[in-house]
Amino acid sequence: MSTLLSNLELQLTTLQSEAQSAIAAAATLDALEQLRVSYLGKKGELSQILKGMGKLEPGDRPHIGAIANDVKELVQTALEQKKVDLQSAQIHAKLESETLDVTMPGIYMPQGRIHPLNAMMDRALDIFVGLGYTVADGPEMETDYYNFEALNTPPDHPARDMQDTFYLPDGNLLRTHTSSVQIRYMEENDPPIRIIAPGRCYRRDTEDATHAAVFHQIEILAIDEGLTFTDLKGTIEIFLEEMFGSVPIRFRASYFPFTEPSAEVDVQWNGRWLEVLGCGMVDPNVLKIAGYDPEVYTGFAAGFGVERFAMVLHQIDDIRRLYTSDLRFLNQF
């Protein structure tokens, strides 16, 4: 046997055993692929060895060829087997990592709540929507016209003193009540109308237990042919009964520039009379300014403070509690 021949044989068997142990040790599919290329690839070790075949005696070639084929097949089989093993290990690991452990403790999600002021407004809206009213709104920055003049309150009117106003440098103001929405809505819509308008209002009040510079009101307005004070009373009575239950209420004559006659309504609450809202028949001047014919249409209006309602209903002693975001307070609702 020529030295070349035995040399080639030795190289092939060495390649086989080296390849088999390297394949067995491969930890990833990538590493396995690299091994395939380096042993069996075009420029791999097997090809390099077989280049030496050209120098063999022609009679020796089939012998080496057969060995080379065996080696190639063995390495290939080892590669395939290892590939299957690695793939199944990979799937296994994935499944393992995605298992849901139902015995793990849950993650605590604090439960959100509706703020008492929003809850209050939602309740009032629900009641009036149930009576056929539509929700309306208007801007918080208002003109003097919508906030006062069109509501029958000209510049020198003493009633302006009832509402200390934030005036803006451009002559506009922050609305002092939601009554401004009455005019805006009437300008845009023909009678009959029934609206409820909740929103934020502003007054230059010094803050204390019952006053806030920013607060919320809800405005009610109904205009139709033949509406009377009885309709106003009935509507307010139904509303207050839904809100407070069947507690005694009383209407007290009062004054507002935009209603005539006007009234304030008190409810008996914890043994005393508490004023909860202002109301009245829409003044004919207001109807005229808004473009409605007061000979044909009449209407009633009412407005109340949302904070006031919430304080009475939930026995809240200080209006500022509604704004300080103290969870010990808010969690009670």
Q: How far is the CB of 126 from ligand DAH (least distance, A)?
A: 20
The stretch among 77-85, 164-172, 298-306, 319-327 that binds ligand DAH (CB under 6 A) is 298-306
Q: Is 302 in the site for ligand DAH (CB under 6 A)?
A: yes
CB closest to ligand DAH, residue no: 303
- Please pick, from the candidates 301, 306, 310, 322, the single residue that binds ligand DAH as defined by CB under 6 A: 301
Cα(230)–Cα(187) distance, integer angstroms:
26
Q: Is 142 in the site for ligand DAH (CB under 6 A)?
A: no
- Please pick, from the candidates 184, 278, 287, 297, the single residue that binds ligand DAH as defined by CB under 6 A: 278
Q: Is 146 in the site for ligand DAH (CB under 6 A)?
A: no
Identity of the residue, 195 or 322, whose beta carbon is nearer to ligand DAH in the bound complex: 195
Grouping H, G, I as helix, E, B as strand and the rest as coil, residue 54 is helix
Alpha helices in 169-299 (DSSP H): 180-188, 229-244, 284-289
Grouping H, G, I as helix, E, B as strand and the rest as coil, residue 213 is coil
Site for ligand DAH in 216-235 (CB under 6 A): 219
Q: Is 280 in the site for ligand DAH (CB under 6 A)?
A: yes
Q: Is 195 in the site for ligand DAH (CB under 6 A)?
A: no
Question: What residues pair up with 263 in beta bridges, in sequence order?
Answer: 253, 279
Identity of the residue, 118 or 254, whose beta carbon is nearer to ligand DAH in the bound complex: 254
Q: How far is the CB of 322 from ligand DAH (least distance, A)?
A: 18
Identity of the residue, 138 or 280, whose beta carbon is nearer to ligand DAH in the bound complex: 280
- Structural tokens at position 17: 């055993």
CB 258 within 8 A of CB 179: yes
Residues that bind ligand DAH (CB under 6 A): 177, 179, 219, 256, 259, 278-280, 301-303
